[in-house]
Amino acid sequence: MLLDYHMHTRLTDGTKEPVDYARVATERGLNEICFTDHAPLGNRDTEWTLTLANLETYVGWVYEAQRQFPNLTIKLGLEVDFFSDRLDWIHELSGLYPWDYILGSVHFIGDWPVDRHADDWKDQNLDERWQKYFDLWQQAAHSKLFDSLAHPDLPKKFCFRPKVFDYRPALRAVQKGGCAIEVSTAGLRKPCREIYPAEEFLRLARQMEIPITFGSDAHIPEDTGADFDKAVALARRCGYDKLARFTQRRRDLVPLG
């Protein structure tokens, strides 16, 4: 089976509406999709997140897509930024609607954006930045607030990588926290031109029996399910033969591909 568990609408930094993504998913033969628009951050408004005021519109759009595409399974989810001082907010948000899936992500180290501009990375201590990012990622895993963690090695986006990096502490946190990790084809469309996470990372995850979800991180309908053949090939090379699927936050596993 093929499931795309990561997509955005025009209410945030995406384009179009859930029905438009559902149409492409149907054409491409996907079995299931899950919308994961950017959740409100709680204490600050941004241009790229939902607001509390339009959260209901978002949920209504997803339900409308379910009505229009009865042969495609469409799930209701959110992508939620992890901030260690906002755990109560994330908890509250999780109770507002009957979400199927909460995808956690780290886009910020404090106020410093990890994935906005390549220039932000110039003259940075790469070992230190990567360590800080994965420290937060580890905390997100430990929090048990998330079903899966998005684009695991996002700091590689602009090709600023340390020569070596030990992913094992981060993966042990995921294993202990009991969540899944995302295999994201978005990296293929970014300067790094590589799926998130790297093969080395995914092999370790497989050894630790950490489940995976698939996501295109589509911001336009045309990217729904993009490059999933490459994601399937990578996952299989690393030893995976199943994908995680979520219904009302409960996980089960389905055959991959």
Cβ proximity to Zn ion, 130 vs 168, nearer residue: 130
Q: Shortest Cβ distance from residue 71 to Zn ion (Å)?
A: 26
For the segment 211-240, give every residue that binds Zn ion (CB under 5 A). 217
- Site size with Zn ion, rule: CB under 5 A: 4
> Does the protein bind Zn ion through residue 182 (CB under 5 A)?
no
DSSP for the chain, please give it. --EE--B--TTTTS-S-HHHHHHHHHHTT-SEEEEEEEPP-SS---TTS--TTTHHHHHHHHHHHHHH-TTSEEEEEEEEE--TT-HHHHHHHHTTS--SEEEEE--EETTEESSS-GGGGTT--HHHHHHHHHHHHHHHHHTT--SEESSTTGGGTTS---S----HHHHHHHHHHT-EEEEEGGGGGSTT-S-BS-HHHHHHHHHTT--EEEE--BSSGGGTTTTHHHHHHHHHHTT--EEEEEETTEEEEEE--
Residue window 101-120: x/- pattern of binding to Zn ion, with contact defined by CB under 5 A: ----x---------------
Q: Shortest Cβ distance from residue 83 to Zn ion (Å)?
A: 14
Stretch that binds Zn ion, among 75-83, 121-129, 194-202, 231-239 (CB under 5 A): 75-83
Q: Shortest Cβ distance from residue 37 to Zn ion (Å)?
A: 8
Stretch that binds Zn ion, among 12-20, 98-106, 124-132, 220-228 (CB under 5 A): 98-106
Residue window 16-55: x/- pattern of binding to Zn ion, with contact defined by CB under 5 A: ----------------------------------------
- Beta-carbon neighbour count of residue 169 at 10 Å? 12
Cβ proximity to Zn ion, 105 vs 131, nearer residue: 105
Q: Shortest Cβ distance from residue 8 to Zn ion (Å)?
A: 6
Stretch that binds Zn ion, among 9-17, 90-98, 99-107, 161-169 (CB under 5 A): 99-107
Q: Shortest Cβ distance from residue 79 to Zn ion (Å)?
A: 5
Cβ proximity to Zn ion, 150 vs 174, nearer residue: 150
Residue 30: closest CA among 71, 64, 76, 62? 71
